[in-house]
Amino acid sequence: QMRLVDLHTDTNNYEHHTSEISVKELIVRRGQAFKLTLKLTQPFNLGFDQLIMTVVTGNDPSEDLGTKSRFGVPGRSLHSASAKAVWKAELQRGSSPETGVLVLIVSPPADTPIGEYTLSASLKDKEKVLANFSVLFNPWSSDDWVFLPKEEERREYVLNEQGIIYRGGGDYISPMFWDFGQFEEGMVRICMKMLDLNVKHWLNPADDVSARSSPIYVSRVVSAMINSSDEGGVVMGNWGNNFSGGVPPTYWSGSYAILKQWYNSYYRSVRYGQCWVFAGVMCSVMRLLGIPCRVVSNFQSAHDTNKNLTIDSYFDYNGAMERESRDSIWNFHVWVEGWMRRPDLATDGKYDGWQVVDPTPQERSEGLFCCGPASVTAIRNGEVDLKYDVPFVFAEVNADSVYWLVSIEMKIFSDTVTVGQNISTKAVGSYQRTDLTNTYKHREGGLTCMDSRGRSVVSKPENGKDVNLRMILSSDTSTTRTFSVNISIQAMKYTGQPVGNIQTEVTEQKLLPKKDLIVPIKVPYSVYHKYMIQSRTMSISAIITDLQNEDNVTGGSKVNQELTAEVVFMNPIDDTLRDCSMSLSGSGLMIGQEITK
């Protein structure tokens, strides 16, 4: 009979880089052997006796699904031909079978599902449960899909419990310290419960547990479980101003308090979070499970709801942004990257490495509010046909920003460079910022300084002080121009939506030939402070109308009747133009093309 088991928890956990998680419970990483000692009440005859060991995970374990494995000591093949994730064990030197002491080296394969396991053994028809333990992904094993070659990166992206999340705006990046706390007490239990509560587990528990062999699958499940938009999620989002029944997202400075509250309340969603909270919590879970993970902030981040790779913003004649558009450009948006292989996309490893996974509930993916994993390589190359959710993330860093004047449905301006700036993460081994923009975008479409002409800040904005700016208009013509200048200042959410009109100015200005016109803009603190209590950003926009260069229709327009219009062309040079010709065409307005000399 088996009378005593030594799991060597201290030694095993240290060698598996899990001693920070626990020194009492056995926690091992797949693809790496661990030791246990079994003491029998009688000698063990290697020639005649056989110790049969079984490991199982989940409520319906199966060899064919890789959630059950049978192996013998001495080593004999006990598994079926169709078995997946085959474990093995061997006697270590130093064993003393003749006295009944067996020192066993147990090896979980690098593709076994992560989770909570039970190990049992039978000898001469006597069966005994030897241990309950947990198996995690293994970034130290070259056979594991999450293998990360550099030790300093493993220490940062798996073992580091503290980090930085960047917020603010493209020109004013603000670091926020975040306590990931992935090795706090009970985190294994919390994270495993999270996996068990996901929708796919409800639908097919056996297949779900089996699929936990893949970090691709697990990261996608975690992405859906962090937010509460689908039942059972950890954090409830709130982008409004009313946080009754919970706390504002800015209250949180770490993940463990959130995860512990969710677990202790029997899985009631914690109120409230926004993108950096979702990302911080997900990073903690990923690191605990063994998937290398880092938090990434994208500034001027597009939210493209209709998948046309343009963000449409609508303005009225005063320059104020309308509220109707579902598209928006967030001052910043935060997601995580997980490190893993992607053999589902290519066999040559082209898409291996960092993958975007976003737990903030924005759009549904395969019916759930989750996003990713989306290969950063695929995003950079614009390969939007690849899974998962590459088109959505590609738009977040590459979409064109198109501005429309509502009253006449006219496109004012199209900006191809604003979206996707200063993509940032904490540096490895230090609290410096690492810029990742060039990993998401090619240089010609990447981090580009906007043309500074047309705007200028007189003094750096400070809360509690007046904001002073100046708008510069330049003339390259030989005539004086008269303009109507409509300036609108609005308080904005970080999600790019207006929350209040702070100030509106309407003036008439003259721009002299070949000169610059400076239009001062002053926003007094006494005017803006009440709007900025719930906002950190103000948007200043201007609609400039040339009062002397309006195209005129000289008569009423009626269907099937000729229409006369007047179009004025301004000669941009000092010389008189002679012997000129002009061609006119208009679909549905003119028959053919007319040429006038």
Strand pairing partners for 273? 237
* Token pair recorded at residue 392: 């959505």
* Residue extent(s) of CATH 3.90.260.10 domains in the chain: 151-439
* CB 595, CB 582: distance < 8 Å: yes
**Cα(269)–Cα(237) distance, rounded to whole angstroms?**
10
246 neighbors 262 (Cβ within 8 angstroms)? no
- Kindly report, as residue ranges, where domains of CATH 2.60.40.10 are found in the chain: 2-136, 456-546
Question: The tokens of 235 are what?
Answer: 């954090």
Q: Do residues 53 and 120 touch, judged by C-beta distance below 8 A?
A: yes
pLDDT in tens, the chain (597 residues): 778 799 999 999 999 999 999 999 999 999 999 999 999 989 999 888 889 999 999 999 999 999 999 998 877 767 788 899 999 999 998 899 999 999 999 999 999 999 999 999 998 888 899 999 999 999 999 999 999 999 999 999 999 999 999 999 877 899 999 999 999 999 999 999 999 999 999 999 999 999 999 999 999 999 999 999 877 799 999 998 899 999 999 999 999 999 999 999 999 999 999 999 999 999 999 999 999 999 999 999 998 877 777 887 777 766 677 655 677 888 999 999 999 999 999 999 999 999 999 999 988 888 899 999 999 999 999 999 999 999 999 999 998 888 777 765 667 777 778 899 999 999 999 999 999 999 999 874 333 333 334 445 555 677 788 888 888 888 877 788 888 888 888 888 777 778 788 888 888 888 888 888 888 889 888 888 888 877 777 888 888 888 876 555 455 566 667 777 767 777 767 778 888 877 776 655 665 556 666
Residues 456-546, CATH architecture: Sandwich (2.60)
Instruction: Give which of 324, 322, 326, 323 is closest to 307, Cα–Cα.
Output: 326
Tokens of 401: 């920003």
Q: Tell me which of 3.90.260.10, 3.40.50.970, 3.40.30.10, 3.80.10.10 is the CATH number of domain 151-439.
A: 3.90.260.10
Alpha-carbon span 226 to 194, nearest angstrom: 9
Helical (H) or strand (E) element with 293: strand 293-303
How far apart are the C-alpha atoms of 167 and 150, rounded to whole Å?
28
Task: Find where tokens 């039978």 sit.
Answer: 122
3-state secondary structure of 263: helix
Give the helix, strand, coil percentages of the chain, each rounded to 5: 20, 35, 45
Gap between the Cα atoms of 91 and 98, Å rounded: 13
Characterize the bridge pairing of strands 235-237 and 270-273. parallel
Q: List, by residue number, the catalytic residues.
A: 275, 333, 358
What is the structure's pLDDT at 308? Answer: 75
List of E strands, 181-245: 235-237
Whether residue 418 contacts residue 401, with contact meaning beta carbons closer than 8 Å, is answered with: yes
115: alpha, beta or left? (left if phi > 0; alpha if psi -120 to 50): left
DSSP string, 344-405: TT-TTSTT-EEEEE--S--S-BTTBS----EEHHHHHHT-TTSTTTHHHHHHHHHPEEEEEE
Please give the model's pTM, rounded to 2 decimal places: 0.82
CA distances from 198 to 208, 368, 446, 456 (A): 9, 11, 37, 51
If one looks up domain 2-136 in CATH, what number appears?
A: 2.60.40.10
- Residue length, the chain? 597
Q: Which amino acid is at 17?
A: H
From CA 468, how far away is CA 460, in angstroms rounded? 8
For every residue of 483-515, which 3-state class applies, written as one string? EEEEEEEEEECCCCCEEEEEEEEEEEEEECCCC
Angle at 289 between CA 285 and CA 294, to 5 degrees: 55
Q: Are strands 400-405 and 374-375 parallel, antiparallel or unpaired?
A: unpaired
The whole-number pLDDT of residue 192 equals: 98
